[in-house]
Amino acid sequence: MDRVHVIGGGLAGCETAWQLARRGLDVTLVERKPVEMSPAHTTPLLAEIVCSNSLKSDAPHSPPGMLKDELRRAGSLMLRCADETRVPAGEALAVDRHAFARLMTTRIALDPRIRIERRSMDVWPDGPVIVATGPLTGDALARRLAFTLGDALYFYDAIAPIVDADTIDPGQTFRGMRRGRGEGDYVNCPLTRDEYLALVREIGAGRQVAPHGFEEERYFEGCLPIEVMVARGEETLRFGPLRPVGLRDASGREPWAVVQLRPEDREGTAYNLVGFQTRLAYPDQKRILRMIPALRQAEFFRMGSIHRNTYVDAPRRLGPELELRGLPDVRLAGLLVGVEGYVECAAMGLLAALFIAARLRGGAAEPPPPTTALGALYHHVTRMRGEGEAFQPANIHFGLFPPTGGRIGGEARRRLQIERARQDLEPWLAKVAA
């Protein structure tokens, strides 16, 4: 049986390689680090997380939680490693990013069926290939995709700063979760009305790092830079990542606005500024963020930055097995197919592996039911759009699931969707089991 090449050692690529190996296939995982480093990566580890360390909600009643549950039941390597390296984050699944990447790298490196090759690959080889190069696809390979497909799309994704825990003023913070959920894993930095408005003014006036002149600015709505949100109105942040709803300070009052900090590691030595992804120049970032009372003496382990994310118009350019139309041996996985989020990218890697493994055995893998979280994502990237309906990347959310029928709504409808997904997943898992 042919050896499968997986290009890209990120979350989707590692998940793809692992799932193929579980199905008895030999895999060559090609990763360009450390031969060629991107501006966002800092280590040679596989599955390096360069943005937030949060994998979003792990609550079983939420779409992200549903997707995680389905992936765990499908034997996901990413979820197994995430569970083993998680840090406190309330209902969210957040990981110690370095411990997570080390564990993923170790598991992949020790698998006897996976061979890791550290080199840059500008074109895909002959035979079965899965391209999972993610948000930082190299220029040469991106051009190859654009040439093959006739077009390539991209948007910009921004990274939030990380602050040294020892430099946060505890007298200016309080712990707690919005609406009283969780055990208070988040550190909250309250702002008065005047402090909030001053912060917003400076963000709007701050110097920004401009994209290259030949690149058009496109942002994913679920991960907007703070300066883009501020440009939409001075109250946008207060009704977005700085919303104080359900939070009470030591005096029992709800602040005007709140900047939340989430642990980056198990030891609590570093905190991520939740929702503060930004393209502001580094000196302006430091000056503006130190306007937050709790961060007046803050030192930062990492400043925010911006990078390009590449994806294709999957419904028009990919077939039902995520293969390039006209090149059935070449499949895409991860963010390239038009999903957004760590777990979503790994999910697409898992599905790409199922499809190619079944095809190499002379059969075909059935896609997951659209009523499941895995199926809802798959349907999103494969459903043909009508005239004038543009394809955009998406996270998992209830809007991707098919209706339940009838006039039931609200929480009752969501409970029905969750139960339906659980029931429909089991028969599918039995069919695609390794």
What was the pLDDT predicted at 385? 79
- Cα–Cα distance for residue pair 300/272, rounded to 1 Å: 10
Angle at 231 between CA 230 and CA 237, to 5 degrees: 20
Per-residue confidence in pLDDT tens, the chain, 434 aa: 679 999 999 999 999 999 999 999 999 999 999 888 776 678 999 999 987 899 999 999 999 999 999 999 999 999 999 999 999 998 999 999 999 999 999 999 999 999 999 998 888 889 999 999 987 777 788 888 878 887 667 777 677 899 999 999 999 999 988 765 555 789 999 999 999 999 999 999 999 887 655 456 677 777 789 999 999 999 999 999 999 988 988 888 999 999 999 988 777 888 999 999 998 999 999 999 999 999 999 999 888 887 777 888 999 999 999 999 989 999 999 999 999 899 999 999 999 999 999 999 999 999 999 999 999 999 999 998 777 677 888 889 888 988 877 666 667 878 898 999 999 999 999 998 76
Amino acid 214: pLDDT: 44
Pairwise CA distance, residues 138 & 36, whole Å? 9
Beta bridge partners of 27: 4, 114
Question: What's the CA gap between 372 and 416, in Å, rounded?
Answer: 12
Burial label, 208 (beta-carbon count in 10 A; 0-12, 13-18, 19+): middle
pLDDT at 281 (0 to 100)? 93
pLDDT at 322: 97
Cα-Cα-Cα-Cα dihedral of 421, 431, 10, 163, to 10°?
30
The one-letter code for the residue type at 158 is A
**Using CA atoms in the order 303, 304, 307, 311, what is the torsion angle rounded to 10 degrees?**
130
Alpha-carbon gap, residue 404 to 414, rounded angstroms = 9
Tokens standing for residue 355? 């499809």
Give yes or no for a contact between 58 and 67, defined as CB atoms under 8 angstroms apart: no
Type of residue numbered 96: D
Kindly state the helix (H) or strand (E) to which residue 70 belongs, with its residue range.
Answer: helix 63-73
Write out the CATH class of domain 4-152+312-432: alpha beta
For the chain, counts of helices (H) and of strands (E)? 12, 17
- Around 26, how many Cα atoms within 13 Å sit in the side-chain half-sphere? 5
Tell me, what's the pLDDT at 409? 60
CATH code assigned to 158-308: 2.40.30.260
Residue 198: the pLDDT is 97
Q: What is the DSSP secondary structure assignment for residue 213, as one 8-state letter?
A: T
Q: Where exactly are the structural domains of the chain?
A: 4-152+312-432, 158-308
